[in-house]
Amino acid sequence: MTSKQLGFLIMGTLVGVNFLTIPRTASEAAGQDAWIAVLVGALLPLLVLVLIERLGRRFPEMDFIQMSQYLFGKIGGSVLVIILSLHMIIVVAREIARFAFLESIFLLPLTPIWAISLLILLVSLYVAGQGAQVVARINELLFYLLLPAFFLIVYPLITAADHTYLLPVGGSGILSIARSSFDVSLYYGRMEFLMVAYFMVTHKDEVLKAGLIAWGAVTVPYMLFTAACLMVFGPENLQEQITPVLAMFTSVSYPLLERMDMLFLVAWSVAFRPVFNLLCMSGYSLTRLLNLQERRHYLMLLTVAGTAAYLFSLIPTSIVELIIYSGWQGYTHPVVGLGYPLLYLLAAKMREGRTQNV
């Protein structure tokens, strides 16, 4: 794929249901400074991006599986590939559950969760089954389709926002901002998928630039929506909302289309991009690991990965369980996101040193 397509893939993977909930998490400790926490928290995926890019430069001719086995041996490398694939499958499960619960609460209250999850899975399998390039193109298409939705923020800002909720800037204290920044950084997880996707790009020298643009395109809307939610609800009331971004749209009556929140939700709920992006990456990794070349093998492994994710997604039986489950699962992002490239870079350095000694 091209570096531009990788950019869209990054945006699609980072932005999921968490986009609707991030203002609440960010304001929990940082209060009126939640928007600063969102900016600081975004440094984690930036660091992951830079580390993976540095790593990838060292092995431009390899893919993730070859690099793993080259650095850690056949068994060690395979174990690392399997762990990353499993990690992505669990993230997919979480995303399926999040989308399903969201749709169940707001759009399809009478439809069982398992049916909504199944629908999400089937569509995602179909998309992921077309291969990484098609997945990237669909991300691009969905980006442009969802772009107008971001401008909906203007109306609540004009009619319901109160700037005093953002003041005094920095008043919550550095420690509070730091705590919220860490919580927020977990929301930006999933950048670790670049460990696989980086090697699919043809012009690798453009990856950093494309990644930075994508990172900015994710961070700026996150920050703007957090600031807007703060101005509409205030830091205290923000804690009452599970999905503050949606609540913000219900708080004002848009001219012509009064229930804009429903329209936004319909648009948003079909965009389960992280699900098919990560399914594609995990399916690809497993197929390459098993040294299978045919498309039907990829589809078969994709179905296995998807079914596993689907079954995992059914474990939380309520939104509360899902929030707890997601909270714990979120901690794996910095561990995997930073741990993998650092481990690989360390191994690469050691191997380099050994080669020079010889």
Partner 1 sequence: MFRRILLTIIILSSIALGSGCWDARDIADRSVVILAAVDLSQEGGTQFGKPVRYEGTILLPNLNPDTEEKVRIEKVSGVSISGSRDQRAYINPEIIMTRMIQVYLFGESLCISGIAPVMDSLLRNPVLSNSLHLAMTEGQSGDLLTAEPSDFPDLGLYVTDLLQKVNNKSFFPVVTLHDFAIHSTSPGRNPVLPILKEDAGEVRISGMGIFRKDRLIGRVGLDESRPLALLRGAQSMAYIPFIMTRDGEETDRGTVFVGNHRKVRVERQGNQFTFNITIILKGELIEHERSDVLTRDRQSLPKIEEQIAADIESECQSFIERMQGEFKVDCIDISKYALAKWRSELENTIDEGFIEKVNINVDVKVHIRNTGDLL
Give contact residues for partner 1 (rule: CB under 8 A): 31-32, 105-106, 160, 162, 164-165, 167-168, 171-172, 232-234, 236-237, 240, 247, 250-253, 258-259, 261
Nearer to partner 1, 167 or 346 (CB): 167
Nearer to partner 1, 109 or 356 (CB): 109
Q: How far is the CB of 145 from partner 1 (least distance, A)?
A: 20
Nearer to partner 1, 156 or 334 (CB): 156
Q: How far is the CB of 119 from partner 1 (least distance, A)?
A: 12
Q: What is the DSSP letter of 193?
A: G
Q: How far is the CB of 237 from partner 1 (least distance, A)?
A: 6
CA dihedral sign of residues 38, 39, 44, 50: positive
Residue whose token pair is 């039986």:
317
On the CB side of 193, CA atoms within 13 Å amount to 30
Task: Report d(CA 203, CA 1) in Å as an integer.
Answer: 9
CA dihedral sign of residues 248, 251, 256, 259: positive
Task: Report d(CA 329, CA 326) in Å as an integer.
Answer: 5
Q: Which of 159, 137, 100 is nearest to 5 (CA)?
A: 137
Whether the CB-CB separation of 205 and 2 falls below 8 Å is answered with no
Task: Report d(CA 176, CA 95) in Å as an integer.
Answer: 28
Nearer to partner 1, 66 or 239 (CB): 239
Q: How far is the CB of 309 from partner 1 (least distance, A)?
A: 24
CA dihedral sign of residues 224, 142, 213, 128: positive
Q: How far is the CB of 127 from partner 1 (least distance, A)?
A: 17
Task: Report d(CA 256, CA 30) in Å as an integer.
Answer: 36
Nearer to partner 1, 79 or 169 (CB): 169
Nearer to partner 1, 202 or 253 (CB): 253
Q: How far is the CB of 202 from partner 1 (least distance, A)?
A: 35
Q: What is the DSSP letter of 314?
A: T
Q: How far is the CB of 187 from partner 1 (least distance, A)?
A: 23
Nearer to partner 1, 250 or 269 (CB): 250
